[in-house]
Amino acid sequence: MGLFTRRSQDTNTAAVATLDVDPALAALTGDYVIDASHSSIGFTVRHAMVTNVRGSFGEHEGLLRLDGTDPSRSTASIDVTIASVGTGIADRDGHLLSGDFFDAERFPLMTFRSTSAAQLGGDAYRVTGELTIKDVTRPLAIDLEFAGSATDVYGNERVGFEGSAEILRSDWGLTWNAALEAGGVMVSDKVKLTFDISAIKQA
């Protein structure tokens, strides 16, 4: 269900294209708070050149401001608590929190602030903004798919988005690595970020 549908109509002898706003999507316009208990912000990184390690951040909060009549005016703001990182291995999680990686004591939050949004076609969107990790802020584009909207059993109006982005962790100063005897390195520079977001509309 795209935010806009295109209609052609005849005016005298000329065909004029107009944009119709989908009333159902226009009704979604408003402020939404991310429901962390039903959302996930995760990552995947290549380990030892042969397999993927997956992890997630259990604590995060955010605000979406959606404009169903003009997606370009939508915004997103997300704060992620670094200390909530989990990969299933306590020693590895501790290493990620250390100065080798996130240095969580000095830099407890990872943040994203959108600067623009665009519809790519249908339910596909791209949100561009600034990602801050440690003391480094760099641009990031997140490709998202609108998963739909619904009213839950408690009467909350919800929207869902799924998306991903790829970064080079070295761009944010996360440069620790170790060389492997057979060649290559322990941890890939490329990291895939994943977003599964459920957000509740505010009254």
Amino acid sitting at position 5 = T
- Determine contact, residues 10/35, Cβ cutoff 8 Å: no
Written as tens digits, the pLDDT of the chain (203 aa) is 443 223 334 444 443 333 466 788 889 999 999 999 999 999 999 998 889 999 999 999 999 999 999 999 999 999 999 999 999 999 999 999 999 999 999 999 999 999 999 999 989 999 999 999 999 999 999 999 999 999 999 999 999 999 999 999 999 999 999 999 888 999 999 999 999 999 999 98
Residue 22 per-residue DSSP state: P
The DSSP call for residue 185 is B
In DSSP terms, 161 is beta-bridged to 146, 197
Query: CA-to-CA distance for 27 and 201, rounded, in angstroms?
Result: 11
Largest CA distance in the chain: 76
Which residue from 128, 72, 134 is spatially nearest to 100, judged by alpha carbons?
134
Strands (E), the chain: 4-11, 14-21, 30-34, 40-47, 51-57, 60-66, 75-81, 85-86, 109-121, 124-133, 136-151, 157-168, 187-201
- With residue 171 as reference, give the H or E element that holds it: none
Would you state the structure tokens that stand for residue 89, as one six-digit string?
């291995």
pTM above threshold 0.85: yes
Q: In Å, how far are 69, 84, 201 from 72, measured between CA atoms? A: 9, 32, 19
90 SS3 class? helix
C-alpha–C-alpha distance, residues 80 and 133, integer Å: 10
Count of CB atoms within 10 A of residue 186's CB? 13
Closest C-alpha to 172, from 184, 185, 186, 189: 189
Report the SS3 class of residue 68: coil
